[in-house]
Amino acid sequence: MKRTFFHRRRRPAFTIVELLVVIAIIALMAGLAMPNMQLGILKAQSTVCGEHLHGIGVAVLSDATDNNGMLPEINQTAPPLPYPASVQGIVGVLGNYGVTTNTIQCPVDMASGNSSFGQYGSSYEWNPVLDDGTDPVTTLPLGPIDITVNPTRVRVCTDFLPIHHGKTNALYGDGHTRAR
């Protein structure tokens, strides 16, 4: 019995030059995509910040429902301090409604080198003001007041600094949030 051997054709392999060209093209495409990915990450973090403010808004509305429609008194740790030192901060006042330390941390603020959370204990400023869309903004008087205000115009809580592409996320009295 005679054995026959077939010669297999050898497949041509990639040359080093071809491999380097492919790697260069992939690196170029990754370099072009990187700024867009960073922008996407910042937008995602801004969205998370808005969701945190929305969670605070739900807690504020629940607290207001339990207290005859009055906004809670929350001690602002940043100057000026509008409330006495005996008044608790955001987590202390709204903790029963699900607000935790994680809720009051903006991801963009936490990623920055000069974190408001590290400085004030919250990424968000509690400062109820009447926002009519123009400046100056009129600060709501503290203490017993008897006025009716559309809650969509009362800005309750915002980022300390404009860290979202030059804007701050703001929570309004009816629970909606928006960048301003």
Given a cut of 50, is residue 134 above it in pLDDT?
A: no
Given a cut of 90, is residue 114 above it in pLDDT?
A: no
**Rounded-to-integer distance, Cα 64 and Cα 129, Å:** 16
Would you give the end-to-end CA distance of the chain in angstroms? 89
Given a cut of 90, is residue 35 above it in pLDDT?
A: no
Q: Residue written as tokens 């629940």? A: 62
More confident residue, 71 or 16: 16
Give the angle 8-13-15 at the CA atoms, nearest 5°. Answer: 150
Q: Please give the average per-residue pLDDT across 145-154, as a whole number.
A: 66
Q: Model pTM? A: 0.69
Q: Please give the average per-residue pLDDT across 38-48, as a whole number.
A: 84
Let me know if 108 is exposed, middle or buried by CB neighbors in 10 A (0-12, 13-18, 19+): buried
Q: Residue 137 has what pLDDT?
A: 44
**Helices vs. strands in the chain: H and E counts, helices first:** 4, 5
Q: Please give the average per-residue pLDDT across 118-135, as a whole number.
A: 73
Q: Please give the average per-residue pLDDT across 85-94, as a whole number.
A: 76
